[in-house]
């Protein structure tokens, strides 16, 4: 246990170094960005993956996070929190935005799931985490209850972000059929969440 603790990065040292890197970034020094990225990527990716539960989505969140950090480095205020807390707050926000976009693509009001995950991440409350996971599992069960064609079409819209026309082109189904299947699937998922 002591050996494992010694291998963990010292957050005080990381925060001290990150303050310097952010100050360099605020002056337009790209080296500061590279150092911050190298020093904090494990933290940022870990949180992004924990929230999105998808490696590709987590990578997108990481890219969005570091872009925002680069753009806002001059606004970092050390009086309001540590650099690592600031960075992870941005990461969590970008990850939750990703979940909301993904839920919106499905036409499902999944904001409650995202809010529950956000609450669980903030409080580390086991009950909140269990409730968030139950809601997520409920959505998975609702999707699994759909017939194969609507499941596939939702997957194309949800995971690949394809438009109705793009889905029709990819599947060879008429556009009206795609729209009908997706509308019925979305209605079914909405009904599931009302119950």
The CATH number linked to 45 is 1.10.1740.10
pLDDT at residue 54, as a whole number: 81
Task: Choose one of 48, 83, 107: the last residue of a domain.
Answer: 107
pLDDT at residue 135, as a whole number: 60
For 3-8, what is the mean pLDDT? Answer: 37
For 124-153, what is the mean pLDDT? Answer: 66
- Does residue 128 lie in a domain region? no
pLDDT at residue 32, as a whole number: 94
Q: Which of 44-53, 70-79, 95-104 has the lowest mean pLDDT?
A: 95-104
Higher-confidence residue: 155 or 118? 155
For 47-67, what is the mean pLDDT? Answer: 89
- Does residue 113 lie in a domain region? no
Q: Which of 61-70, 135-144, 155-164, 177-186 has the lowest mean pLDDT?
A: 135-144
Is the pLDDT assigned to residue 88 strictly greater than 60? yes
Average pLDDT, the chain: 78
Is the pLDDT assigned to residue 120 strictly greater than 80? no
Q: Which of 31-40, 66-75, 117-126, 153-162 has the lowest mean pLDDT?
A: 117-126
Confidence of residue 195 (pLDDT cuts 50, 70, 90): low
Is the pLDDT assigned to residue 103 strictly greater than 70? no
Which residues constitute the domain of residue 187?
145-195
- Does residue 35 lie in a domain region? yes
> Residues 103, 158: one domain?
no
Confidence of residue 125 (pLDDT cuts 50, 70, 90): very low
The total number of residues written for the chain in this structure: 195
> Residues 1, 65: one domain?
yes
Q: What is the pTM of this model?
A: 0.55
> Residues 95, 185: one domain?
no
Is the pLDDT assigned to residue 74 strictly greater than 90? yes
Instruction: Count structural domains, the chain.
Output: 2
Is the pLDDT assigned to residue 58 strictly greater than 80? yes
> Residues 90, 2: one domain?
yes
CATH of residue 174: 1.10.10.10
20-32 per-position pLDDT tens digit: 999 999 999 999 9
> Residues 95, 169: one domain?
no
pLDDT at residue 29, as a whole number: 92
């Amino acid at each position: 246990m002591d050996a494992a603790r010694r291998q963990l990065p010292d957050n005080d040292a990381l925060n001290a170094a990150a303050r310097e890197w952010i100050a360099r970034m605020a002056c337009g020094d790209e080296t500061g960005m590279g150092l911050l990225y190298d020093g904090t990527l494990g933290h940022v990716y870990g949180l992004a993956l924990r929230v999105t539960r998808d490696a590709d989505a987590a990578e997108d969140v990481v890219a969005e996070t570091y872009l925002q950090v680069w753009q806002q480095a001059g606004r970092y205020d050390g009086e309001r929190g540590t650099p690592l807390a600031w960075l992870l707050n941005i990461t969590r926000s970008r990850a939750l935005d990703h979940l909301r976009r993904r839920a919106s693509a499905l036409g499902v009001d999944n904001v409650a799931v995202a809010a529950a995950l956000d609450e669980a991440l903030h409080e580390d409350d086991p009950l909140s985490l269990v409730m968030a996971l139950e809601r997520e599992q409920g959505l998975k069960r609702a999707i699994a209850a759909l017939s194969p064609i609507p499941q596939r079409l939702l997957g194309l819209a949800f995971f690949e972000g394809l438009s109705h026309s793009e889905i029709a082109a990819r599947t060879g189904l008429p556009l009206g059929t795609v729209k009908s299947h997706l509308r019925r699937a979305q209605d079914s998922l909405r009904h599931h969440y009302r119950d």
